[in-house]
Amino acid sequence: MVIVAAMVAATVALPALAADLEAGRRKSEPCARCHGDGGNATVPGTPSLAGQPAWFTHWALVKFRDGRRKDPMMSPVAANLSDADMADLAAYYATLPPRPRPQTLDAAKAAAGQRLAVSHHCTSCHRPDLGGQHQVPRLAGQDLDYLLRLLRAYRAGTAGDLEGLMTLAAQPLSDADIENLAHYIAGLTPAP
């Protein structure tokens, strides 16, 4: 807990763009069809946005808009968003409480995944509870299919990595490693 507090204190980031939470709530209405009520998605393959660090959601939208990240649903949506839209949406989703997703997970895979999360240093950037920070996403309790898809995309170099850190981290992962990690991460209870 001391460590977590210190990590936050190491750099105090200024808000780059003042966000409007009420505008974010309004702008998020069309997003709910896939990303769920309150940002907790239930559609397999679709990530939950509730409780994501605001800079992560905002950066993801920036990458969809400039084409570094591609998705048949998200690319056209992000193409029409302004910086202010993105800031409002990201700030709004960051305030919502994340809930565990109903999904069937394999305990043996999750146990193997827990060891992999240590040996592959996931917590170095995603924090000890995999709750994310700054531009780094919360992973705990995320959708299994989404985690599988993203880890495979990072390994293939097609996930639109900002600085190449996840692309490098994913290179040594085998297909089985990705399965195991995803089952572990998806089963973690997201901290409120």
**Gap between the Cα atoms of 34 and 160, Å rounded:** 21
Contact call for residue 175 and another protein (CB under 8 A): no
Tell me the closest approach of the beta carbon of residue 106 to another protein, in angstroms.
Answer: 17
Q: H or E stretch including 55? A: helix 54-66
**Contact flags string 10-49 toward another protein, x per CB under 8 A:** xxxxx-xxx-------------------------------
Which 59-98 residues touch another protein, going by CB under 8 A? 59, 61-62, 66-68, 83, 86-87, 90
Question: Residue 124 in contact with residue 165, Cβ under 8 Å?
Answer: no
Contact call for residue 108 and another protein (CB under 8 A): no
Name which of 72 and 102 has its Cβ closer to another protein. 72
Q: Measured between alpha carbons, how far apart are the two ends of the chain, in Å?
A: 15
CA distances 43 to 24, 33, 102, 133, Å, are 22, 9, 10, 25
Question: Residue 48 in contact with residue 143, Cβ under 8 Å?
Answer: yes
Q: Which of 124, 156, 175, 189 binds another protein (CB under 8 A)?
A: 124
Sign of dihedral through CA atoms 7, 10, 11, 12? positive
For tokens 């209870």, the residue is: 189
| Closest C-alpha among 138, 145, 140 to residue 43 | 145
Name which of 50 and 60 has its Cβ closer to another protein. 60
| Closest C-alpha among 119, 141, 123 to residue 185 | 141
Tell me the closest approach of the beta carbon of residue 9 to another protein, in angstroms.
Answer: 6
Q: Which of 41, 49, 169, 188 binds another protein (CB under 8 A)?
A: 169
Q: Which of 21, 79, 156, 168 binds another protein (CB under 8 A)?
A: 168
- Kindly determine how many residues on this chain lie close enough to bind another protein according to the rule CB under 8 A: 42
Which stretches of the chain bind another protein, using CB under 8 A?
A: 3, 6-7, 9-14, 16-18, 55, 58-59, 61-62, 66-68, 83, 86-87, 90, 115-116, 119-121, 124-125, 133-135, 162-165, 167-169, 172
